Structure 1
Amino acid sequence: MIFDIFSFQIKIKTNTQTKFETKMKKSIFLVMMLLLSTFSVAQNKIFPFKINKVVLDNGLTVLSVPFDSPGIIAYYTVVRAGSRNEVEPGKSGFAHFFEHMMFRGTEKYPEQVYNDILKRLGADSNAFTTADWTAYHIVASSDALETIIDIESDRFMNLKYTEEQFKTEAGAILGEYNKSASSPFLALYEKLQDLAFTTHTYKHTTIGFLKDILDMPNQYDYSLKFFDRYYRPENCAIVVVGDFDQNKLIQLVKKYYGNWKRGNYKPEIPVEPPQTEEKVGHIPWKGKTLPYLAIGYHIPEFSTKNVERAAFDLIVELLFSKTAPLYQKLVIEKQWVDFINGDAPDRRDPFLFIIMARIKNESLIDSVKNEIFNAIEELKTKPVSKKRLDEVKSYLKYSFAMSLDNPNSVAYTVGHYFQLTGDPESVNELYALYDKITPQDIMKTAQKYLTPQNRTIVTLTEEKK
């Protein structure tokens, strides 16, 4: 569970949306049958739907996927900017800040007018920010397509807010930070990333450093600069999935987005040097809590060519799935932890393989840590069986396929792989790469990256009275 996404949610739900959900459920069975039949025809393509791609003269990419969801569309605006892009010292948190400000309205569609339109449409509107991208998404009736394109293009081209509105929203960000800080997870990820990174902007979480959030009300002029840099057509994509006419879609996008002016800013993201020694940190927690353990190992950036990076997606399952020996020992047999998991988040730049556990007693922290290290050492020295590896590959393949059961999930997938590589078809290359990974690849990858000098360890325990 990576607390990398801090969402500013506008959820406008009506009885019309319930009708949408009913229609979507009826189409799920047909979608699943399509998926299974597609696999038999083209086993090298995990993503079974055709992706239409059109690039406007101003650089805006339009990605559209016909999907059997009668009367329903999902509409995403993908911005290839997240906390990774916050390169100036003292200016973290602005990618997330704009997730908030984008709902403040324009001269044509002020905030309340925009919200009223979505409510009348029975639409579900939301947004999220991550380290690498920001996404704004709507699920609505297909016949609302032009209205959605109109209001979305307007706010991306004509967002307008006063310094007073800016300061109000900056205060809301602080409130959100304080709310998140009441949970140990934010503190753990802050400490882990701050220790593990010395140079790269992954040093801070998506919501930003607290000191920068406190100073945010004074950064009105910088906010205008950030928006001008990244909210440009060449840095964005429109993703439409569902029931629509392709020719009409492109005509409408050109009509409403055609005058959006191209920018020219290219950020210089600092390169993180290799870690050369183990780093250790501790957080004394003032409230009541069970102990936590977080471990991070540096790993490569997302790639459809690098076997080592792809191997970590399999290592996550080999070590931490519910059938894994380590999970069985710590959760089921010894009952030392109430959860343990691992994650290798997709990132545009080298990030971390993260292990997280909540431990039932402080006296067990070292024992749990040693069991994790022992499992890693076994991965380095004993080849995993081909049968087990094939089972993991099959699980990844079919769990992914089964997730593609509605327009929103499909649109998210297209947006996710586009923001990583600029090519949504890279998802097919990734799953083809999984098929090539051998037990020896798993061993070599573990030997290379899962070393003491490449890891950062953070513990969190209740502060002693």
Structure 2
Amino acid sequence: ASSNAYTSDDRTVYHETFAKEDLDEIMRLEADRFQKLKFSEEQFKTEAGAVLGEYNKNSASPFFKMYEVMRETAFRKHTYSHTTMGYLEDIKDYPNQYTYSQQFFNRFYRPENTTIVIVGDINQAEVLAKVKKYWSDWKPGNYKQTIPVEPAQTETRSKHIDWSSATLPIVMVAYRAPAFSETEKDKAALDLLSAIAFGDNSELYQRLVIKEQKAVFISPDADNHIDPELFTVTAQVKDVKDLNYVRDEIVKTYKRFAAETIPQKQLEETRSRMRYGFSMAMNSNDAIAGTLARYVALRRSPETIDKSFALYDSITAEEIRQMAAKYFTDNSQTIITLATKK
């Protein structure tokens, strides 16, 4: 068996792979962990030290630093303004937060926040019986979470990072983007545009990476979030003299698709590739469970996947242009650059 976990902006996922004969024991152990977890202050301090070590390792990466600076620059009020790991000063104080860690567990590790996903050669009725056996006594909590609403951005924002060691320059260009929705077309339209405008087959990628060889890579990121997030394009540049050129070409591409309508054939091909790629990636129990976890965390239902792809199928080329024009405005733009300090 193997066991691990990860935390992103909106979810924490614990995942285990095991033989189906061990399902009963795994269910019993996980129910005990989620409902009755106990740990000493010394154990907590040890884990806090491990987090500090992980931060120190990650902070050696210029991409990690850029992501951290992008979050704090683009967001001022919402908790998306910091990474899930937190800032260095917070992490250094973790060993002193034993009491708060227990409060955190009691607040959030509750049935109303939890979904169990089991994938494999199993019998549904037997699994449900085990869930009731081990989890039915778990009581809901009463903590009401209040997350600050991020105000509308009213100006272009930018920051430059001087990196202390030798590295290739990097640019991130981001615009404020919509939250995930099963019904509104905004986010789904931008998902389709992401591949068309900035994917490996896009005109921009083919020109800057393949033909002109100004960039090592160009990569879009517009992940699904519960609250309004960012649509970000990152590029690593081969020569610092081309940093502003690559930045400007990325910005021009955003603006291009706010003005131009995508050819229908290209839209249909993109939809087909997205569906095919999604299906082909579901090639193991781990992959299926991991995908379900990402969507279930958004709306607490596996049907979210079907609703999302139905939404993709309903979107027109003109609606994509309208959404690009709506979100890719100068007032919602944030640009972060990084280069080796001279």
Give the TM-score category using the shorter length: over 0.9
2:40 matched to which residue of 1?
A: 162
For the pair 1:336 / 2:239, whether they are aligned, the reply is: no
Matches within 5 A, 1:168-317: 168-317=46-195
Q: Does the CA contact (< 8 Å) of 2:4 and 2:15 recur in 1? A: yes
One-letter amino acid of the structure 2 residue matched with residue 269 of structure 1: I
**Which string of whole-angstrom CA distances, capped at 9 and with x for unpartnered residues, describes residues 279-322 of structure 1?**
01011111110000011110110011121211111111011222
1:104 matched to which residue of 2?
A: none
2:278 matched to which residue of 1?
A: 400
**Which string of whole-angstrom CA distances, capped at 9 and with x for unpartnered residues, describes residues 315-348 of structure 1?**
1101122211000110011100001110111000
Would you say how many aligned residue pairs link Structure 1 and Structure 2?
A: 342
2:261 matched to which residue of 1?
A: 383
One-letter amino acid of the structure 2 residue matched with residue 395 of structure 1: R
Unaligned runs of 5+ in 1: 1-122
CA distance in 2, matches of 1:436, 1:212: 45
Structure 2 residue matching 1:239: 3-state secondary structure: coil
CA distance in 2, matches of 1:253, 1:332: 53
Tell me the TM-score normalised to structure 1 length.
0.72
Deviation, structure 1 residue 261: 2.2
CA distance in 2, matches of 1:437, 1:247: 38
For the pair 1:444 / 2:289, whether they are aligned, the reply is: no
CA distance in 1, matches of 2:196, 2:262: 9
For the pair 1:129 / 2:7, whether they are aligned, the reply is: yes
For the pair 1:453 / 2:331, whether they are aligned, the reply is: yes
For the pair 1:140 / 2:22, whether they are aligned, the reply is: no
One-letter amino acid of the structure 2 residue matched with residue 414 of structure 1: L
Deviation, structure 1 residue 377: 2.2
CA distance in 2, matches of 1:432, 1:240: 25
Stretch of structure 1 that moved more, 196-205 or 422-431:
422-431
CA distance in 1, matches of 2:255, 2:5: 41
One-letter amino acid of the structure 2 residue matched with residue 248 of structure 1: E
Deviation, structure 1 residue 373: 1.8
CA distance in 1, matches of 2:315, 2:113: 33
CA distance in 1, matches of 2:279, 2:310: 14
CA distance in 1, matches of 2:209, 2:230: 24
CA distance in 1, matches of 2:128, 2:219: 43
2:29 matched to which residue of 1?
A: 151
Matches within 5 A, 1:70-89: none
Structure 2 residue matching 1:423: 3-state secondary structure: coil
**Which string of whole-angstrom CA distances, capped at 9 and with x for unpartnered residues, describes residues 335-372 of structure 1?**
00001110111000000001100001111111111211
CA distance in 2, matches of 1:382, 1:295: 20
CA distance in 2, matches of 1:393, 1:384: 13
**Which string of whole-angstrom CA distances, capped at 9 and with x for unpartnered residues, describes residues 137-181 of structure 1?**
111111111011111111111211111111111111111000000
Equivalent residue for 1:354, pick from 232, 235, 244: 232
Equivalent residue for 1:419, pick from 278, 293, 297: 297
Deviation, structure 1 residue 259: 2.2
**Which string of whole-angstrom CA distances, capped at 9 and with x for unpartnered residues, describes residues 44-79 of structure 1?**
xxxxxxxxxxxxxxxxxxxxxxxxxxxxxxxxxxxx
Structure 2 residue matching 1:342: 3-state secondary structure: strand
CA distance in 2, matches of 1:407, 1:145: 14
1:67 matched to which residue of 2?
A: none
CA distance in 1, matches of 2:284, 2:138: 30
Unaligned runs of 5+ in 2: none
CA distance in 1, matches of 2:43, 2:21: 33
Structure 2 residue matching 1:241: 3-state secondary structure: coil
CA distance in 2, matches of 1:247, 1:392: 39
CA distance in 2, matches of 1:381, 1:250: 52
CA distance in 2, matches of 1:377, 1:263: 47
Structure 2 residue matching 1:458: 3-state secondary structure: strand
Deviation, structure 1 residue 234: 1.7
1:368 matched to which residue of 2?
A: 246
CA distance in 2, matches of 1:230, 1:454: 32
Deviation, structure 1 residue 215: 1.1
For the pair 1:320 / 2:181, whether they are aligned, the reply is: no
Tell me the TM-score normalised to structure 2 length.
0.98
